[in-house]
Amino acid sequence: MEQKIILTGIRPTGKLHLGHYFGAIQNWVKLQDEYNSHFEIADVQALTDNFDNPKKVRENVREIAIDLLSCGIDPNKSTLFIQSMIPEIAELTVYYSNLVTMARLYRNPTVKTEIGQKKAIFGNSGESVTYGFVGYPVSQAADITAFEGECVPVGEDQLPLIEQCREIVRKFNSIYGETLKEPVAVLSDNKRIKGLDGNEKMGKSLGNAIYLADTEDEIKNKVMSAVTDPKKIKKDDPANPKVCMVYYYHKLIKNDNINTVCSECKNGTRGCVACKKELITKMMEFLKPIQDKRKYYEQHLDEVDQILISGTNNARAKAKATMKKVRKSMQIDYYEE
Ligand code: TRP
């Protein structure tokens, strides 16, 4: 039986952290076995709000590739590619831009929220929001459909973008004839990962991220300042693990000693410092296989480049085939064989 096509992407704006891992990447690694998976390093999209910092985007393309490979994205099973190396996506974006109104883009909840969050870039009035930024859902629709993506694994925040993609596909097909596939979003089971500081979200900008590449010292500093039950004052006070971020992380990384952690915390037989030390050890154990692989790829950068080149070639062939159909439907297939 033919495998269904998956397309999803990630913006190369920084190294991966545990929020990415548990919120998305772990799921991508599983999906590779059941789907014809395509993972896009979305550098063009990253430039929509980092156009003035090309160095950052460029450096992170390789970092993200190394992170993804270290987490178990397997180039023998999946296609890993760089968005900017597929000009067909940009071409498709232009054609789609006629099918989307400005009003609809401004109403997209994801775009709305992000414009709000980017006051530092766009200013309070939003007057300096760029055309490219407001239009990134159109470009993302091209990302998905250029590869005839059927399933799009994403987090909840991305659902409005997938919905907008579906609308574009329906409009395209109704005007130019049945050509494109309408994708569906696949929500990952592990939603948002909280920060050790108790924040609802882990994020680079929130300053609470634990990176997959963090050293033991970095992990130590982060874990030692984690938020625990504020009612616990003395080492042997009983506490409530439900309100403790250290317990949350013991659970997250699946500490096999979790039942003891829980009962000792409740009984007051476990001090927070000891509990944090155990978390540091277990966290390093959890990260070790990923970090070992990272070390390997850092010493074999040629291999990383080869994976990206061949993944991109493979992806580009697929996008070219889609564009043939698109141009034919739009009656702009001049002199094509
Ligand atoms: N917008 C997505 C994010 O910020 C990344 C992305 C780019 C993407 N292209 C995509 C996701 C295509 C799904 C499909 O997380």
pLDDT of residue 203: 86
Q: Is the CB of 40 under 6 A from ligand 1?
A: yes
Could you give phi then psi for residue 73, rounded to 5 degrees? Answer: -65, 125
Looking from the CA of residue 143, the nearest atom of ligand 1 is 12
| Inside any domain, residue 202 | no
Q: How far is the CA of 9 from the centre of ligand 1 (A)?
A: 4
Integer Cα distance of 248 and 228 in angstroms: 10
Q: How far is the CA of 64 from the centre of ligand 1 (A)?
A: 14
**C-alpha gyration radius of the chain:** 22
| Inside any domain, residue 23 | yes
Do 23 and 167 fall within a single domain? yes
pLDDT of residue 190: 60
Q: How far is the CA of 42 from the centre of ligand 1 (A)?
A: 7
Mutate to test the pocket of ligand 1, among 45, 84, 134, 188 (most ligand atoms within 8 A of CB): 45
Q: Would you write out the chain's pLDDT as a tens digit for each of its 337 residues?
A: 789 999 999 999 999 999 999 999 999 999 999 999 999 999 999 999 999 999 999 999 999 999 999 999 999 999 999 999 999 999 999 999 999 999 999 999 999 888 888 877 777 777 789 999 999 999 999 999 999 999 999 988 899 999 999 999 999 999 999 999 999 999 876 668 899 999 988 988 888 899 999 999 999 999 999 999 999 999 889 999 999 999 999 999 999 999 999 999 999 999 999 999 999 999 999 999 999 999 999 999 999 999 999 999 999 999 999 999 999 999 999 998 7
DSSP for residue 8? E
Do 282 and 312 fall within a single domain? no
CATH number at residue 115: 3.40.50.620
pLDDT of residue 189: 66
| Inside any domain, residue 14 | yes
Looking from the CA of residue 161, the nearest atom of ligand 1 is 1
Q: How far is the CA of 231 from the centre of ligand 1 (A)?
A: 41
Do 234 and 324 fall within a single domain? no
| Inside any domain, residue 265 | yes
Give the H/E segment covering residue 185: strand 184-187
H helical segments located in 240-337 = 245-252, 258-267, 272-299, 301-329
pLDDT of residue 47: 97
| Inside any domain, residue 41 | yes
Q: Is the CB of 45 under 6 A from ligand 1?
A: yes
Q: How far is the CA of 5 from the centre of ligand 1 (A)?
A: 16
Do 77 and 161 fall within a single domain? yes
> From the CB of residue 274, how many other CB atoms can be counted at a distance below 10 Å?
12
Do 43 and 181 fall within a single domain? yes
Q: Is the CB of 50 under 6 A from ligand 1?
A: no
Q: Which domain holds residue 265?
A: 216-295
Do 182 and 248 fall within a single domain? no
pLDDT of residue 119: 79
pLDDT of residue 295: 98
Q: Is the CB of 86 under 6 A from ligand 1?
A: no
Spatial CA neighbour of 188 closest among 28, 17, 49: 28
b/e burial code for range 170-186 (CB count within 10 A of at least 16 → b): eebeeebeebbbbbebb
Q: What is the domain count for the chain?
A: 2
Three-class SS of residue 17?
Answer: strand
Give the Å distances, CA to CA, from 277 to 224, 271, 284: 8, 10, 11
Do 92 and 189 fall within a single domain? yes
Q: How far is the CA of 53 from the centre of ligand 1 (A)?
A: 19
Do 119 and 135 fall within a single domain? yes
Mutate to test the pocket of ligand 1, among 154, 159, 168 (most ligand atoms within 8 A of CB): 154
| Inside any domain, residue 208 | no
Mutate to test the pocket of ligand 1, among 25, 143, 163, 188 (most ligand atoms within 8 A of CB): 143
Q: How far is the CA of 192 from the centre of ligand 1 (A)?
A: 16
Give the H/E segment covering residue 102: helix 102-107
Q: How far is the CA of 8 from the centre of ligand 1 (A)?
A: 6
Integer Cα distance of 21 and 30 in angstroms: 12
pLDDT of residue 22: 92
CATH number at residue 221: 1.10.240.10
Three-class SS of residue 76?
Answer: coil
Give the Å distances, CA to CA, from 250 to 163, 233, 242, 258, 281: 36, 21, 12, 7, 11
Do 314 and 183 fall within a single domain? yes
| Inside any domain, residue 209 | no
* Amino acid letter, 32: Q
